[in-house]
Amino acid sequence: MLKVSLRCASPDAWLQAVLADFDTFLQDHADCERKASAMALSFVAKYHDRKAIIPALIDLGIEELEHFREVYAEMEKRGISLPASMGKDPYLEALLKLCRTGRDQRFLDRLLIAGLVEQRGAERFRLVAENVADEAMQKFYKHFWTSEAKHGVLFLRLAANYFSEEEIQSRLAWWEEREAEIIRALPPRAALH
């Protein structure tokens, strides 16, 4: 069965940076959920002729927007605002730079990157759920962890509508290696990536 495997665990320095500045982490997390929703809809716009994937991407856009609403409600409770602007996400930038350019190749790469980003998100939300002191936050992050883990597989299933299992497996293995290299090189900060 198709599945995304992370080739390295997130470093402890990342977890410590998040726990040391949870308010900043929440701001970044909210932004990531908003971007995940926008990304699902930009797939719909860009690949409008790939009809098999559109309903699932619309559902995903709604679910990620609900995540954004939940994180923003938590920020409001704590008196945290949305920042005027967020810097670029160095992790996502590094992945996107490695995308191939042909239409089909790029389509597959974008789906595989999305699957990896979701799987990494799930791993990191699990780490937060298991290590944050506040019990309400443990529950809050368990909820995100389980949602994002399902999304990792979702993108592989979407790819399977258009590509063979062998093609997906071999390209995914290549991406898993690159993703692990990028994760190891990222400076730790109070952000999802």
Residues lying near Fe ion in the complex (CB under 5 A): 33, 64, 67, 118, 148, 151
DSSP letter string, 67-90: HHHHHHHHHHHHTPPPPS-----H
Min dist. Cβ of residue 151 to Fe ion (A): 4
| CA gap 121, 143 in Å, rounded | 12
Min dist. Cβ of residue 174 to Fe ion (A): 22
Min dist. Cβ of residue 148 to Fe ion (A): 5
Residue (28 or 148) nearer to Fe ion, CB: 148
Residue (16 or 114) nearer to Fe ion, CB: 114
Rounded (10°) CA dihedral 96, 187, 148, 76: -110
| CA gap 143, 163 in Å, rounded | 31
Residue (67 or 193) nearer to Fe ion, CB: 67
